[in-house]
């Protein structure tokens, strides 16, 4: 049995042979094991993949009956240094069931973590098989997964839809004031690596006594180099801001600022990530002489997923 590992240390193993002795299996399932790399402990991904493939021979169930293709897929992800996210799916023909579990590795010794993940995978496989016995699998590939028996952790996997982030921010005009304040930002995932963000902010000038409070409204679209649920990543962003500045004691002027920039994030936990972004833009509508030139923006804060 071979485990082909790519240069990025992702283990993707497909075993088309029997996963149990031939006398026990009349129909042979296919096993797919996908272990993502982890920057927290680089060798861990290879060790987990090897452990899972070793245990698969004894633990993965036979196909239900000859002629019905069975695929068992095991995925492992690393939301942070102390947890592993495990997903097991068993598909029989055009139907399937999925179970997920988050494994707490905080108190597990380093050399025991591959075995801990393997044991959890075996338990999820057993629970799916047991759930199939209690509630037969539906005949439609798109039908919802039926609930398992009470007390079983078998459940559907739920992806985060977006995030809310309070941010410390400033906008500096090359020929005008520097504005410091706070943003409230809400982002929505519209793809594995694509998100849209809207923001509202309040600013106060640092270097001018003639300007009062300013307001910022904006929208941005970002495309990331990595999946937004990965432990870290960077993204390129395009955005348009509207900055409302006091033009006089009785009137305000609004400046439209298209900008390009970049953002980076690091996961702090399962639902929290620290975010930093910067951008530079040029006003296309200026109604006041108090703020001209390019606009350089910077913001940082902690985003909470929902």
Strand order in the sheet with 11-15: 11-15, 30-35, 70-80, 83-92, 95-104
Most confident of 19-33, 46-60, 95-109, 197-211: 95-109
Domain 162-305, what architecture?
Beta Barrel (2.40)
Mean pLDDT over 5-26 rounds to 39
> Which residue do the tokens 């036979």 mark?
62
Comparing 303 with 306, the larger pLDDT belongs to 303
DSSP assignment letter at 260: E
Across 211-234, average pLDDT: 87
Give the separation between CA 35 and CA 3, rounded to whole angstroms: 11
In a 3-state reduction of DSSP, which class is residue 295? strand
Rounded to an integer, what distance in angstroms lies between the CA atom of residue 120 and that of residue 47? Answer: 15
Q: What is the three-class DSSP state of 129?
A: helix
| Neighbour tally for 71: CB within 10 Å | 16
Q: Where are the domains of the chain?
A: 11-134, 162-305
Q: Please, are residues 72 and 125 in contact by the beta-carbon 8 Å criterion?
A: yes
pLDDT tens for each residue of 128-158: 888 877 765 544 444 444 444 444 444 444 4
Task: Decide which of 21 and 56 is more confident.
Answer: 56
| pLDDT in the model for residue 275 | 95
What integer is the mean pLDDT of 177-191? 91
Structure tokens at 305: 């997923």
Kindly state the percentage of the chain with pLDDT values over 70. Answer: 73
What residues does 103 pair with on adjacent strands? 84
Pure H helices in 97-241: 113-134
| The pair of three-digit structure tokens given for residue 233, joined into one six-digit string | 């990543």
Specify whether the CB–CB gap between 167 and 300 falls below 8 A: yes
How far does CA 198 lie from the centroid of its chain? 19
Burial of 97 (0-12, 13-18, 19+ CB in 10 A): buried
Taking the CA atoms of residue 99, residue 70, residue 143 and residue 36 in that order, the dihedral angle to the nearest 10 degrees is 40
* pLDDT for position 306: 80
Least confident piece of the model among 129-138, 154-163, 272-281, 294-303 = 154-163
DSSP count for the chain of H helices, then E strands: 2, 13
What per-residue confidence (pLDDT) applies to 247?
A: 64
Going by C-alpha positions, the residue among 5, 17, 15, 14 that lies closest to residue 44 is 5
Instruction: Give the pLDDT confidence score for residue 203 in this predicted structure.
Output: 92
pTM for the whole thing?
0.49
CA proximity to 270, closest of 245, 306, 238: 306
* Cα separation, 252 vs 159, whole angstroms: 42
């Amino acid at each position: 049995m071979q485990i082909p590992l790519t240069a990025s240390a992702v283990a993707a193993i497909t075993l088309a042979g029997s996963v149990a002795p031939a006398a026990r299996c009349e129909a042979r399932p296919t096993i797919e094991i996908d272990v993502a790399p982890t920057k927290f402990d680089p060798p861990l991904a290879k060790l987990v993949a090897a452990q899972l493939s070793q245990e698969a021979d004894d633990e993965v169930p036979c196909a239900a009956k000859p002629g019905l293709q069975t695929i068992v897929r095991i995925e492992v992800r690393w939301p942070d240094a102390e947890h592993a996210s495990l997903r097991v799916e068993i598909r029989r023909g055009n139907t399937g069931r999925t179970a997920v579990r988050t494994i707490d590795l905080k108190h597990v010794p380093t050399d025991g973590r591959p075995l801990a993940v393997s044991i959890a995978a075996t338990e999820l496989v057993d629970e799916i098989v047991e759930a199939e016995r209690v509630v037969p699998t539906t005949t439609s590939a798109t039908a919802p997964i039926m609930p398992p028996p009470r007390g079983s952790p078998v459940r559907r996997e739920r992806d985060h839809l977006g995030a809310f982030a309070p941010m410390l921010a400033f906008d500096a005009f090359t020929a005008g004031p520097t504005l410091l304040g706070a943003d409230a930002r809400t982002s929505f995932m519209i793809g594995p690596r694509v998100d849209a963000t809207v923001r509202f902010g309040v600013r106060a000038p640092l270097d001018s006594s003639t300007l009062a409070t300013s307001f910022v409204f904006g929208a941005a679209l970002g495309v990331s180099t990595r999946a937004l649920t990965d432990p870290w990543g960077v993204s390129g962003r395009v955005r348009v801001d509207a900055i409302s500045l006091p033009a006089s004691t009785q009137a305000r002027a609004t400046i439209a600022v298209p900008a390009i920039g970049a953002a980076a994030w690091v996961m702090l936990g399962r639902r929290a990530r620290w975010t930093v972004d910067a951008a530079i833009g040029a006003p296309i509508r200026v109604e006041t002489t108090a703020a001209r030139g390019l606009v350089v923006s910077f913001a940082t804060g902690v985003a909470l997923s929902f």
